[in-house]
Chain A
Amino acid sequence: ENSQKNIRTFFLSK
């Protein structure tokens, strides 16, 4: 089963 990633891991916090 594929694991669901957190969106935050792809974008930088401003």
Chain B
Amino acid sequence: MFEARLSSATTLKKVLDAIKDLLNEATFDCNDSGIQLQAMDNSHVSLVSLTLRADGFDKYRCDRNLSMGMNLGSMAKIMKCANNDDTVTMKAQDNADTVVFMFESQNQEKVSDYEMKLMNLDQEHLGIPETDYACIVRMPAMEFARICRDLSQFGESLVICCTKEGVKFSASGDVGSANIKLAQTTSVDKEEEAVIIEMQEPVTLTFACRYLNSFTKATPLTNQVQLSMSMDVPLVVEYRIQDIGHVRYYLAPKIED
């Protein structure tokens, strides 16, 4: 028996919005420590890794490890039927071929359940090695989304250059070029508005704007985003999900041939 309950459907709606741009379908691996999902996008350029810890749910029970392959478009149709303040419960029997989403209104007067067929997905799991990154940037998630959106008008690629003074985002193309520099915050009044840089050595890397823009669909989940970079290895874009886990995106850099 698997059962996981969240007191507000908003979190699950936001999590789904954060991944469905990149993934059509994905396997939710459930065990007694929580729910994990790892999947590459169709073109195998980026990797999505989601962790929802058991202790972050209002109720969590998973008697046997369970892998639930879901069509995220179908899941989105179901989640659309939930009000933000509904309680949402996911339920499945052991070895089930369906999962049930149950929504309960706050006053308990409306209860809906939606049963969705599960899929057998043949997904490759990748081992991500522990890495000491040359630069780690923490910045407001809204600011990062704005920069990706603005600069993607000027080119397909975004260059991120990080030094201890700050981080510079650049794009260029037919129109011309655009640069946005963010200085490291000197005095932190509001932590969520700070730009913090931990630098071992400076890094300049180039990434496809299209994927960065997809990652920023996770912005409603949290105030701050963390970018971890080292030369010629994938960028990690991490959004923490308060009290329950995180979604991480790994993006392969563009490299000169």
Does chain A have a CB within 8 A of B206? yes
In the complex, number of A-B residue pairs with CB atoms less than 8 Å apart: 58
Complex interface residues of chain A between 1 and 14 (CB less than 8 A to chain B): 2-14
| Beta-carbon contact of B45 and A3 below 8 Å | no
Residue of B nearest to A3 (CB): B257
Q: Are B126 and A4 interface neighbours, CB within 8 A? A: no
A9 to B233, CA, bound (A): 10
Q: Which listed residue, A2, A6, A11, A12, touches B45 by the CB 8 Å rule?
A: A6
Nearest CB of B to A6, in Å: 5
Interface size on B, residues (CB 8 A): 24
The listed residue (A2, A3, A7, A13) touching B125 by CB distance below 8 A is: A13
Nearest Cβ distance between residue A1 and chain B, in whole angstroms?
Answer: 8
Fill in one digit per residue for B215-257: 1 if any A CB lies within 8 Å of its CB, else 0: 0000000000000000001100000000000000011111111
Kindly state whether residue B77 has any CB partner on chain A within 8 Å. Answer: no
Contacts of A3 in B (CB 8 A): 254-257
Q: Which residues of A contact B40 (CB under 8 A)?
A: 7-8
Residues of B within 8 A of A8 (CB): 40, 44, 124, 126
Contact of B253 with A5 in the complex, beta carbons under 8 Å: yes
Most chain B CB atoms below 10 A, which of A6, A7, A8, A12: A7
CB distance from A7 to the nearest CB of B (A): 5
Q: Shortest Cβ distance from B249 into chain A, in angstroms? A: 10
Closest to A10 in B: B234
Q: How far is the CA of A4 from the CA of B235 in the complex (A)?
A: 13
Q: Of A2, A5, A12, which contacts B126 at CB under 8 A?
A: A12
The answer to whether B254 touches A11 (Cβ under 8 A) is no
CB-nearest residue of chain A to B206: A2
**B17-45 with Cβ < 8 A to chain A:** 40, 44-45
Q: Which A residues are CB-close (under 8 A) to B257?
A: 2-3
Q: Give complex CA distance A4, B46 in Å.
A: 11
B176 within 8 A of A: no
Contact with A along B185-229 (1 / 0, CB 8 A): 000000000000000000000101000000000000000000000
Q: A2-B157, A2-B206, A2-B254 are in contact. Are A7 and B47 (CB under 8 A)?
A: yes
B127 touches A5 (CB 8 A): no
Hey, which bits of chain B sit against chain A, CB under 8 A? 40, 44-47, 124-129, 157, 206, 208, 233-234, 250-257
- What 10 additional pairs, Cβ within 8 angstroms, besides A2-B255, A2-B256? A2-B206, A2-B254, A3-B254, A4-B45, A7-B47, A8-B44, A8-B126, A10-B250, A11-B127, A14-B126
